Amino acid sequence: MPSPASLKMLLAMAFVVGCWAYSPTGIHIGLQAYDPGHLALLRFLLASLFMAVIAAFKGLQLPRVRDVPLLFALGFFAVSLHHVALNIGQQSVSAGASSVLAQSSPLFSTLLARFVFKDQISVWRWGCVLLGLVGVAIVVSGDRGVREIDGHGLLILLAAVSWSIYFALQKHHARRYDGLSLTCYAVWSGTLLLLIYLPGLSDAVMKAPLRVQWAVLALGVFPSALAYLAWGFVLRHVDLSRATMTLYLIPPTAMGIASVGLGERPTLLMLAGSAVVLVSVLALNLERRFWLGRTACANH
Protein backbone atom coordinates (compact mmCIF):
# COMPACT_ATOMS: atom_id res chain seq x y z
CA MET A 1 0.00 0.00 0.00
CA PRO A 2 1.31 3.49 -0.81
CA SER A 3 2.14 5.73 2.12
CA PRO A 4 -0.18 8.72 2.83
CA ALA A 5 2.49 11.09 1.48
CA SER A 6 2.92 9.19 -1.79
CA LEU A 7 -0.84 8.84 -2.16
CA LYS A 8 -1.23 12.60 -1.73
CA MET A 9 1.41 13.13 -4.40
CA LEU A 10 -0.32 10.76 -6.83
CA LEU A 11 -3.63 12.53 -6.25
CA ALA A 12 -1.99 15.92 -6.87
CA MET A 13 -0.45 14.68 -10.14
CA ALA A 14 -3.76 13.16 -11.25
CA PHE A 15 -5.50 16.45 -10.44
CA VAL A 16 -3.01 18.42 -12.56
CA VAL A 17 -3.38 16.04 -15.50
CA GLY A 18 -7.18 16.14 -15.27
CA CYS A 19 -7.33 19.94 -15.07
CA TRP A 20 -4.97 20.60 -17.97
CA ALA A 21 -6.51 17.82 -20.05
CA TYR A 22 -9.95 19.43 -19.61
CA SER A 23 -8.70 22.77 -20.96
CA PRO A 24 -9.04 22.02 -24.74
CA THR A 25 -12.61 20.75 -24.27
CA GLY A 26 -13.50 23.73 -22.08
CA ILE A 27 -12.10 26.10 -24.72
CA HIS A 28 -14.17 24.45 -27.45
CA ILE A 29 -17.33 24.82 -25.37
CA GLY A 30 -16.44 28.42 -24.49
CA LEU A 31 -15.94 29.31 -28.17
CA GLN A 32 -19.58 28.42 -28.81
CA ALA A 33 -20.59 31.74 -27.22
CA TYR A 34 -17.41 33.86 -26.94
CA ASP A 35 -14.87 35.08 -29.44
CA PRO A 36 -11.24 34.08 -28.67
CA GLY A 37 -10.26 37.38 -27.02
CA HIS A 38 -13.35 37.55 -24.80
CA LEU A 39 -12.88 33.92 -23.76
CA ALA A 40 -9.24 34.49 -22.78
CA LEU A 41 -10.09 37.64 -20.80
CA LEU A 42 -13.08 36.16 -18.97
CA ARG A 43 -11.12 33.01 -18.12
CA PHE A 44 -8.28 34.98 -16.58
CA LEU A 45 -10.46 37.53 -14.83
CA LEU A 46 -11.90 34.54 -12.98
CA ALA A 47 -8.43 33.08 -12.42
CA SER A 48 -7.11 36.45 -11.18
CA LEU A 49 -9.91 36.78 -8.63
CA PHE A 50 -9.36 33.22 -7.44
CA MET A 51 -5.59 33.74 -7.15
CA ALA A 52 -6.18 36.99 -5.23
CA VAL A 53 -8.22 35.09 -2.62
CA ILE A 54 -5.47 32.49 -2.25
CA ALA A 55 -2.77 35.18 -2.07
CA ALA A 56 -4.69 36.97 0.70
CA PHE A 57 -4.36 33.85 2.87
CA LYS A 58 -0.90 32.68 1.79
CA GLY A 59 0.92 36.00 1.35
CA LEU A 60 3.18 37.01 -1.54
CA GLN A 61 6.68 38.33 -2.05
CA LEU A 62 6.48 41.97 -3.10
CA PRO A 63 7.78 42.53 -6.65
CA ARG A 64 10.90 44.60 -7.17
CA VAL A 65 10.41 47.67 -9.35
CA ARG A 66 13.19 46.56 -11.69
CA ASP A 67 11.40 43.23 -12.20
CA VAL A 68 8.10 44.77 -13.40
CA PRO A 69 9.03 44.54 -17.13
CA LEU A 70 10.03 40.89 -16.63
CA LEU A 71 6.75 40.08 -14.84
CA PHE A 72 4.76 41.67 -17.66
CA ALA A 73 6.81 39.69 -20.18
CA LEU A 74 5.96 36.51 -18.28
CA GLY A 75 2.28 37.47 -18.30
CA PHE A 76 2.37 38.27 -22.02
CA PHE A 77 3.88 34.93 -23.05
CA ALA A 78 2.19 32.68 -20.45
CA VAL A 79 -1.29 34.24 -20.54
CA SER A 80 -1.99 36.84 -23.23
CA LEU A 81 -0.25 35.54 -26.35
CA HIS A 82 -0.46 31.87 -25.37
CA HIS A 83 -4.18 31.77 -24.71
CA VAL A 84 -5.37 34.10 -27.45
CA ALA A 85 -3.38 32.09 -30.02
CA LEU A 86 -4.68 28.85 -28.49
CA ASN A 87 -8.30 30.04 -28.61
CA ILE A 88 -8.07 31.25 -32.21
CA GLY A 89 -6.35 28.02 -33.22
CA GLN A 90 -8.99 25.84 -31.60
CA GLN A 91 -11.68 27.39 -33.76
CA SER A 92 -10.58 24.94 -36.45
CA VAL A 93 -8.46 22.36 -34.59
CA SER A 94 -9.90 19.51 -32.54
CA ALA A 95 -9.41 19.43 -28.78
CA GLY A 96 -7.33 16.24 -29.02
CA ALA A 97 -4.99 17.61 -31.68
CA SER A 98 -4.67 20.88 -29.77
CA SER A 99 -3.52 19.05 -26.63
CA VAL A 100 -0.82 17.23 -28.60
CA LEU A 101 0.42 20.34 -30.39
CA ALA A 102 0.51 22.29 -27.13
CA GLN A 103 2.58 19.48 -25.60
CA SER A 104 5.27 20.09 -28.25
CA SER A 105 6.65 23.11 -26.35
CA PRO A 106 9.84 21.22 -25.23
CA LEU A 107 10.82 20.99 -28.91
CA PHE A 108 10.74 24.76 -29.19
CA SER A 109 12.44 25.15 -25.82
CA THR A 110 15.36 23.19 -27.29
CA LEU A 111 15.51 25.51 -30.30
CA LEU A 112 15.39 28.56 -28.02
CA ALA A 113 18.20 27.12 -25.90
CA ARG A 114 20.37 26.78 -29.00
CA PHE A 115 19.63 29.96 -30.95
CA VAL A 116 18.83 32.44 -28.14
CA PHE A 117 20.79 31.22 -25.12
CA LYS A 118 23.58 29.64 -27.22
CA ASP A 119 23.46 26.31 -25.37
CA GLN A 120 25.15 23.30 -26.93
CA ILE A 121 22.65 20.83 -28.40
CA SER A 122 23.59 17.19 -28.87
CA VAL A 123 22.94 15.22 -32.06
CA TRP A 124 20.39 13.16 -30.10
CA ARG A 125 18.38 16.29 -29.20
CA TRP A 126 18.51 17.59 -32.77
CA GLY A 127 17.13 14.24 -33.89
CA CYS A 128 14.34 14.46 -31.31
CA VAL A 129 13.41 17.96 -32.49
CA LEU A 130 13.29 16.92 -36.16
CA LEU A 131 11.26 13.81 -35.32
CA GLY A 132 8.87 15.92 -33.22
CA LEU A 133 8.35 18.44 -36.02
CA VAL A 134 7.54 15.58 -38.40
CA GLY A 135 4.98 14.37 -35.83
CA VAL A 136 3.52 17.87 -35.61
CA ALA A 137 3.05 17.95 -39.40
CA ILE A 138 1.31 14.55 -39.25
CA VAL A 139 -1.03 15.71 -36.46
CA VAL A 140 -1.98 18.90 -38.32
CA SER A 141 -2.63 17.05 -41.58
CA GLY A 142 -4.37 14.12 -39.89
CA ASP A 143 -6.73 16.22 -37.78
CA ARG A 144 -8.94 17.65 -40.54
CA GLY A 145 -7.40 16.11 -43.65
CA VAL A 146 -4.65 17.41 -45.90
CA ARG A 147 -7.05 19.42 -48.07
CA GLU A 148 -8.41 21.36 -45.07
CA ILE A 149 -5.06 22.45 -43.57
CA ASP A 150 -5.10 26.14 -42.64
CA GLY A 151 -3.27 28.51 -40.31
CA HIS A 152 -5.13 27.48 -37.15
CA GLY A 153 -2.73 24.62 -36.43
CA LEU A 154 0.16 27.07 -36.74
CA LEU A 155 -1.48 29.27 -34.12
CA ILE A 156 -1.53 26.31 -31.70
CA LEU A 157 2.19 25.96 -32.39
CA LEU A 158 2.60 29.70 -31.74
CA ALA A 159 0.96 29.09 -28.36
CA ALA A 160 3.50 26.31 -27.72
CA VAL A 161 6.36 28.63 -28.72
CA SER A 162 4.96 31.33 -26.42
CA TRP A 163 4.89 28.86 -23.53
CA SER A 164 8.50 27.87 -24.29
CA ILE A 165 9.57 31.52 -24.12
CA TYR A 166 7.74 31.90 -20.81
CA PHE A 167 9.47 28.83 -19.41
CA ALA A 168 12.88 30.08 -20.60
CA LEU A 169 12.34 33.52 -19.04
CA GLN A 170 11.17 31.94 -15.81
CA LYS A 171 14.16 29.61 -15.71
CA HIS A 172 16.81 32.24 -16.51
CA HIS A 173 15.50 35.33 -14.72
CA ALA A 174 12.86 34.66 -12.09
CA ARG A 175 14.39 32.35 -9.50
CA ARG A 176 14.18 35.00 -6.79
CA TYR A 177 10.39 34.57 -6.43
CA ASP A 178 8.53 31.62 -4.95
CA GLY A 179 6.15 29.66 -7.15
CA LEU A 180 2.91 31.19 -5.84
CA SER A 181 4.16 34.78 -6.15
CA LEU A 182 5.47 34.22 -9.66
CA THR A 183 2.26 32.52 -10.79
CA CYS A 184 0.10 35.30 -9.35
CA TYR A 185 2.13 38.08 -10.95
CA ALA A 186 2.18 36.31 -14.32
CA VAL A 187 -1.61 35.74 -14.21
CA TRP A 188 -2.38 39.29 -13.07
CA SER A 189 -0.05 41.02 -15.55
CA GLY A 190 -1.28 38.83 -18.40
CA THR A 191 -4.88 39.62 -17.47
CA LEU A 192 -4.13 43.36 -17.51
CA LEU A 193 -2.77 42.99 -21.04
CA LEU A 194 -5.96 41.14 -22.06
CA LEU A 195 -8.13 44.11 -21.05
CA ILE A 196 -7.92 45.31 -24.66
CA TYR A 197 -10.70 42.75 -25.24
CA LEU A 198 -12.96 44.25 -22.54
CA PRO A 199 -15.37 46.11 -24.93
CA GLY A 200 -18.38 43.90 -25.58
CA LEU A 201 -17.52 41.31 -22.92
CA SER A 202 -20.49 42.11 -20.65
CA ASP A 203 -22.95 41.65 -23.55
CA ALA A 204 -21.33 38.32 -24.44
CA VAL A 205 -21.62 37.15 -20.81
CA MET A 206 -25.31 38.05 -20.68
CA LYS A 207 -26.06 36.13 -23.90
CA ALA A 208 -23.97 33.00 -23.21
CA PRO A 209 -25.87 29.76 -22.41
CA LEU A 210 -25.55 28.29 -18.91
CA ARG A 211 -23.55 25.28 -20.19
CA VAL A 212 -20.95 27.64 -21.64
CA GLN A 213 -20.85 29.71 -18.44
CA TRP A 214 -20.09 26.63 -16.35
CA ALA A 215 -17.39 25.53 -18.80
CA VAL A 216 -15.67 28.94 -18.66
CA LEU A 217 -15.95 29.07 -14.86
CA ALA A 218 -14.24 25.67 -14.73
CA LEU A 219 -11.52 26.96 -17.09
CA GLY A 220 -10.84 29.94 -14.84
CA VAL A 221 -10.72 27.99 -11.58
CA PHE A 222 -9.20 24.61 -12.42
CA PRO A 223 -6.65 24.72 -15.31
CA SER A 224 -5.81 28.41 -14.80
CA ALA A 225 -5.46 28.52 -11.01
CA LEU A 226 -5.77 25.34 -8.94
CA ALA A 227 -3.71 23.22 -11.34
CA TYR A 228 -0.77 25.65 -11.07
CA LEU A 229 -0.92 25.49 -7.27
CA ALA A 230 -1.09 21.69 -7.34
CA TRP A 231 1.82 21.60 -9.81
CA GLY A 232 3.86 23.81 -7.48
CA PHE A 233 3.12 21.36 -4.64
CA VAL A 234 4.29 18.45 -6.82
CA LEU A 235 7.51 20.23 -7.79
CA ARG A 236 8.35 20.91 -4.13
CA HIS A 237 8.34 17.17 -3.42
CA VAL A 238 9.31 15.47 -6.69
CA ASP A 239 12.27 15.97 -9.00
CA LEU A 240 11.33 18.12 -12.02
CA SER A 241 12.32 15.52 -14.63
CA ARG A 242 10.19 12.86 -12.92
CA ALA A 243 7.24 15.19 -12.41
CA THR A 244 7.35 16.23 -16.06
CA MET A 245 6.88 12.62 -17.12
CA THR A 246 3.34 12.86 -15.70
CA LEU A 247 2.44 15.50 -18.28
CA TYR A 248 2.62 12.93 -21.09
CA LEU A 249 -0.69 11.61 -19.80
CA ILE A 250 -2.38 14.91 -20.71
CA PRO A 251 -2.95 14.34 -24.49
CA PRO A 252 -4.56 10.87 -24.16
CA THR A 253 -6.63 12.12 -21.21
CA ALA A 254 -7.63 15.19 -23.23
CA MET A 255 -8.70 12.96 -26.11
CA GLY A 256 -10.82 10.90 -23.72
CA ILE A 257 -12.50 14.00 -22.27
CA ALA A 258 -13.10 15.40 -25.77
CA SER A 259 -14.63 12.13 -26.94
CA VAL A 260 -17.14 12.27 -24.07
CA GLY A 261 -17.75 16.01 -23.93
CA LEU A 262 -17.55 16.87 -27.64
CA GLY A 263 -18.02 13.56 -29.44
CA GLU A 264 -14.59 13.81 -31.10
CA ARG A 265 -13.11 10.72 -32.74
CA PRO A 266 -9.40 11.12 -33.63
CA THR A 267 -8.25 9.72 -36.97
CA LEU A 268 -5.61 7.01 -37.17
CA LEU A 269 -3.22 9.47 -38.85
CA MET A 270 -3.66 11.94 -36.00
CA LEU A 271 -3.07 9.20 -33.41
CA ALA A 272 0.10 8.16 -35.25
CA GLY A 273 1.34 11.76 -35.34
CA SER A 274 0.50 12.17 -31.65
CA ALA A 275 2.59 9.13 -30.81
CA VAL A 276 5.54 10.54 -32.81
CA VAL A 277 5.34 13.92 -31.02
CA LEU A 278 5.08 12.38 -27.55
CA VAL A 279 7.91 9.91 -28.21
CA SER A 280 10.18 12.72 -29.41
CA VAL A 281 9.44 14.89 -26.36
CA LEU A 282 9.84 11.89 -24.06
CA ALA A 283 13.21 11.11 -25.67
CA LEU A 284 14.33 14.70 -25.02
CA ASN A 285 13.58 14.36 -21.32
CA LEU A 286 15.12 10.89 -21.07
CA GLU A 287 18.35 12.22 -22.58
CA ARG A 288 18.33 15.10 -20.09
CA ARG A 289 17.80 12.69 -17.17
CA PHE A 290 20.59 10.42 -18.47
CA TRP A 291 23.13 13.25 -18.53
CA LEU A 292 22.01 14.58 -15.14
CA GLY A 293 22.44 11.09 -13.74
CA ARG A 294 25.94 10.80 -15.21
CA THR A 295 26.86 14.24 -13.82
CA ALA A 296 25.64 13.27 -10.37
CA CYS A 297 27.70 10.04 -10.46
CA ALA A 298 30.76 11.95 -11.60
CA ASN A 299 30.35 14.48 -8.77
CA HIS A 300 30.24 11.66 -6.24
pLDDT of residue 177: 83
The C-alpha atoms of residue 196 and residue 131 are separated, in whole angstroms, by: 38
Q: Taking the model in full, what pTM does it have?
A: 0.84
pLDDT of residue 154: 84
The C-alpha atoms of residue 12 and residue 300 are separated, in whole angstroms, by: 33
Total domains in the fold of the chain: 1
Q: How far is CA 73 from the centre of its chain?
A: 16
Residue bearing the bigger pLDDT, 95 or 76: 76
Region 117-132: mean pLDDT is 80
Question: What domain range is 150 assigned to?
Answer: 4-299
* pLDDT tier for residue 99 given thresholds of 50, 70 and 90: confident
Residue bearing the bigger pLDDT, 271 or 117: 271
The C-alpha atoms of residue 26 and residue 219 are separated, in whole angstroms, by: 6
Query: Per-residue pLDDT tens for 5-35?
Result: 678 888 888 999 999 999 999 999 999 999 9
Query: Per-residue pLDDT tens for 159-169?
Result: 988 988 888 78
